[in-house]
Structure 1
């Protein structure tokens, strides 16, 4: 599935003036199993409680099995214990079971059944389940595609402060998918996610500031949010931050620093090497060598690229 959700600005021109600004959302979630607050001092104590029907213990045992902590990793067994807890109505287990079903870990991948368990947890107020259910509805995975329903669940999760949902809802508001198009409200949700350090939202917020969507155009503020996102390894932010430095947008022109950030972007996606090489021609051999070394140093420190 194409990761690009909407192209809001695209002005790719020759000779380095090639800002390619795209609203972007990565369609792949980071699937994190959720821990319960129940604590057992020994696995044997936990197993005994789980076998006795304690739903929290069943969920906790599933987590240990899924993560290979204190016991050998075994997704199939994890599914079994999550299912037992979920069938008792344990909200966290419902979510965790949905994750394994969606990923096909320890069980055949089954989006439709995953939707069932996410919906149960979502209806009880779990923000992660609400966000994931929204994503499945948006993309028609395991359920008929329904933008309005997706937006509804993203909003419920976003209003609880879920940064992923805030970013997702912001994009639906920008695109007018399932909701009336509203840049001002989109900006609010991007800001909420960005304040939590969400790299994609920081990029999207920077893009809106650059283009003056829902807010007065402000290159300096756009640059700030592009940098925050870029420092987390977000490739589109690295690229656009580099271009703004190279063209002196919102900051004094700095080709040396621009080359570094364009190099970081190119290390993740070779299509960005054209801009890097164009501006690199303006550096002296000594500057170019130093900038290349600095880019490698940053990349190794932050592990932006494999």
Structure 2
């Protein structure tokens, strides 16, 4: 029997974690609404499972967590599947099913906050292509005080959204490192965080290779260089990293100064990312993503 791949384990892990959640069982007798919803959910469809999840969430019933997980696991996957994963991440991080910020009454508490379990669901959504989960992860790492993790996901979100112009504060903070890299491009960065990314990328860490490509694309800690960015994206993509594949497609599909547009090559990279259920790599999505924007911020 073949062994499961690390990527399969990444997606399966949140389900196993959720099964281990201890929640207060409901003693409320089932209503006709509940029986009808559960009966309809026997079809195994996303909409049916989501209806049950939202029903239980409205009733402050922790079984909502299980039904959001069931919705996320339905096939075929779509962008809505990642929405269920994101919702699980937010609920688990907050430790409550309502949207209020007021303190909960003791009798209303159904489960404890679990930032680590939330992280697994945010990651699953992000590695299935959700741009919202990219932002969720950036905020999650910021709240944990992990600035390297926050940088990774801020960069990835900005690359996809064409919002690199919003990272000017980072460019200013790393200006000295950028100038040093301009004078000595073959030397390690003078910025400790970027130097660590460079070392890990050179050792073959695919995630760090994507990070380094994004730093080259954004011009943070080093001069902007799309050819070098693409080189690192492709190195990650050849190792099977879905962001390396997707960003290679974006770089080639959009084109830029010093990097001619090549839609055929881009489509090949998008196809590889789509094969990993990264929904943004579906043709209808990537064609919109590479289309020229109304405004270009340099």
**More contact order relative to length (CA 8 Å, sep ≥ 6):** 2
* More helix by percentage: 2
Name the TM-score class by shorter chain. Answer: 0.3 to 0.5
Structure 1 length normalisation: TM-score? 0.36
